[in-house]
Amino acid sequence: MMTTKEVRLADYLQQDCVLCNIDAQTRDQAIDQLVGVLHRKLNGFDPAEAVQEVLARERQAPTVLAEGLALPHARLAGLTRPTLALATSLRGIDFEAIGEEPVHVIVLILTPKDDPGAYLRLMASLSKSLAQPHLIKRLTVAGDVREAFGILTEGPEKVEVKLNAASIMNSNPVTLDEGNTLADAIQAFCSNRIMDIPIVDSDGDLRGVIALEDLLGQSLPQHLLWMEDLSPIENFEPFAELLRKDSETKVADFMHDKFVAIPPDMPAIQLAKIFLMQHVRQIQVVDGSRFMGSVNLDGFSSQIFWA
């Protein structure tokens, strides 16, 4: 049964934790200012440690979730309840996310270390509340703290949040088309440091998945795998042969259709069971056959244990 919870942003963000048009020049300076605001309001945690934790999370993967919006976050042992701080910047701040424009609205999320659900609920609520691009623009040009606070907390007083697959998936993962080549796949794997790539057609339907193991399998046919000692193959000759044809071989030739697919409304906790019982690294989220996103084991674990 799907569990839901109503989230009221005003319970976690107070007006005096809103900063309009901050003078921070960098991501690190902006985060330092926001942590300072929350520390003066709450105390009970080490601000230096909080800044370190937030920046460590940012270096792992920048939290720019939409154009002009970043949701940096951390879970801290000293906190007893979740809390938010918001900052805007007319000029924009570089959040060091590749290919992303400067960030104009920053919402810092700090939650207790032992309450992973709190972080996930707030992330889902904020993503839902700020999904419309015009809200980011309105917040950016807000004239004062009162106006910015009102914009973020306007609308329904409470937002119903369901912690399901859609709320934790990566809705914009690296994907390939059946017409892409082996060369495209190799570049995608290596440049993004990933191990699995969904194959999506021009209609947005999920057609299959390729994994790094599939590349190895194309290089080492079964008759070589039966050999106990591969030392005579000194120069990786099978791999060289495959690479000579990398611009001719299509992804469709070696993708596989054995993957785990789930609907977007599946409860998030159910994914933990799937990862454990089916021994997969990636779960595909589909609505019918339409590809919605992916949940990777490492990303899922990070959200639960570290955020």
pLDDT of residue 1: 43
Q: Name the band, by pLDDT with cuts 50, 70 and 90, for residue 292.
A: very high
Please give the class, per CATH, of domain 4-163. Answer: alpha beta
The yes or no reply on domain 182-305 and CATH 3.10.580.10 is: yes
Domain ranges, ordered by start, for the chain: 4-163, 182-305
* Cβ proximity of 251 and 185 under 8 Å: yes
Tell me how far apart the alpha carbons of residues 62 and 106 are, in angstroms, rounded to a whole number.
12
Tell me the pLDDT tens digit for each residue of 190-232.
998 899 999 999 999 999 999 988 888 777 766 666 667 767 6
Tell me the pLDDT tens digit for each residue of 229-288.
767 666 666 677 778 888 888 999 889 988 999 999 999 999 999 999 999 999 999 999
What Cα–Cα distance (Å) separates residue 200 from each residue in 51, 203, 206, 251, 265? 39, 8, 5, 11, 21
Domain pair 4-163 / 182-305, same fold: no
